[in-house]
Structure 1
């Protein structure tokens, strides 16, 4: 594995040294991945298909993909990829900056039947400069340069929300949905599947971690409009294909 990454660690890499990302592997988190894996398994029937997992983290998506899936996971964190190789020695992983990696794929004219962005949007940064990357640009590049003609782009957006329209976390959930739909509209992509899934019991698992994720909103800190409102963790899954 070629190392083309600066030696300094990002805050995400430092968290890999603790158990910050262990919740990805928790059984309670399976609904983060199963809408995508089930859709692809069905759409490709019994045929082999290739999949690129951008920002793969600790490779949790691998748990839910069929064996016939030719999987490649890439992440700019060397610590993440080291963990992936331990957990899934039969899958392929690369540690490299995403922009550099995608450019190299284009040079090699390598394309995939599916590209997955799970938790990548709104969080993708340049490891060297720490500048935020353009999410629409990432989506457009994948659609135009990385996907096969009949390929699928899966976007998984995690979030926390309350169950009342006036709750600010509910408002954020709607903002996330509208933002992703707008990005796909700008990129002229057609949404062929959309799913929102609760992650039951994950809140308790997160509370037990040594380091609590930034996005986690505990009940005591949520600004409920009613004593009966609750906070939930969920994922919104969008699966799109290039418009023809």
Structure 2
């Protein structure tokens, strides 16, 4: 993951390979490798085990051997149903994983104004983190993927739920950063602005950008995004 000045990116993961830019639950392992995001002057740096780590990544957990042979070093998943298996497979090949925690999409029936649904989702997220936080292949936690699309990023209840989960993750696991992934940054950067305002426990903004990649650094600067970001999916 490469970090650049202010709004220039954390390195991209997902696509074919990386695109680079300026509850008691028994743990799977007991050997966590600490990962931190640090700011150095006007640049961001990802440190894994105290050393700079630059993601050369892909999306999904299939064909890991091909990823490794192609020079890749990390994957991102969208959900955590197979988190333990994915982490184990990655560890065998010397890869890392941003474990995705799937969050409900309103267009598929999830209601962020329903306290029970939100509480149940939080409980599931906490269980995933408690079980997998000490795995040495863990790189970061992905808090949702494109769940803001139906509202265009304007559902404050959803962002508050994201923050609640991210805050819980940081309490359970201070050793790994949090990422939330959005579908582009919205008109006028509204999505990035909402994350900045309502989700202070999110460390990194993940952006799925199709067709708008070249202008993304500029648009994030205009939106006053002042934390690191990563390009989590891309295409023309």
Pair member with larger Rg: 1
Higher percent of residues as helix: 1
Q: Is TM more than 0.5 here?
A: no
TM range (shorter): 0.3 to 0.5
TM-score of the aligned structures, taking structure 1 as reference length: 0.34
